[in-house]
Amino acid sequence: MRMGNIFTSLCFMSKLWSKNDDDDDDDDDVSCCNVHFSGGNVNLITTKENWEQKIEEARNDNKIVVANFSASWCSPCKMIAPFYCELSEKQPSLTFLVVDVDELSELSSLWEVKATPTFFFIKDGKKFDSLLGANKTELQNKITAIVDSETPPCQS
């Protein structure tokens, strides 16, 4: 089972999805699903080109990227996937990505991923912070701090 399968089934059960017609096997594989959100979302990165496109889009939109490097066999990755999805819906000002380290091993090596899950926080294409492991509290705290630092103070 590939990361797309795991992440889709764990994270998007209540979301609207449709199976890709090019998927001819009979094993209920949902890795080729298109997931539609009303609000935030998690983008499944399947190619290096797709990664570069999303990083460039975020740079052009002045958005911070939260990149989750995970693996389909990783229990902590499976555990944090629904929470990561919730965060993406609550924080649409950020771009949320998920990368399967086995599917994109070259990209994972380039980013020096040593364990899964590893979360990278990226601004203007450059890493400014990271988090190793599936600690929900730490992930929430880092994302809250990022959003708070990006929000201008209220003018009275």
Domains of the chain: 3-13+39-150 (3.40.30.10)
Which one has a higher pLDDT value, 151 or 111? 111
Question: Distance between CA atoms of 116 and 108, rounded to whole angstroms?
Answer: 10
The per-residue pLDDT for 49 is 98
Residues involved in catalysis: 74, 77
Q: What length does the chain have?
A: 156
**What is the 3-class SS of 63-129, one letter each residue?**
CEEEEEEECCCCHHHHHHHHHHHHHHHHCCCEEEEEEECCCCHHHHHHCCCCCCCEEEEEECCEEEE
> What integer pLDDT is reported at residue 41 of this predicted model?
86
| pLDDT of res. 28 | 34
pLDDT at 109: 97
Q: Answer whether residue 9 shows pLDDT above 60.
A: no
97 and 51 Cβ atoms separated by less than 8 Å: yes
Average of per-residue pLDDT across 16-25? 35
Q: Which amino acid is at 17?
A: W
Rounded distance, CA 130 to CA 143, Å? 11
With a CB cutoff of 8 Å and minimum separation 6, the contacts of 13 are none
Question: Is pLDDT larger for residue 17 or for residue 42?
Answer: 42
For residue 16, give the 3-state DSSP assignment.
Answer: strand
Q: What are phi and psi of 140, to 5 degrees?
A: -60, -45
b/e sequence 74-84, b meaning 16+ C-beta within 10 Å: beebbebbeeb
Q: How far is CA 15 from CA 27, 29, 86, 103, in A?
A: 21, 16, 12, 24
pLDDT tens column, 69-100 = 999 999 999 999 999 999 999 999 999 999 99
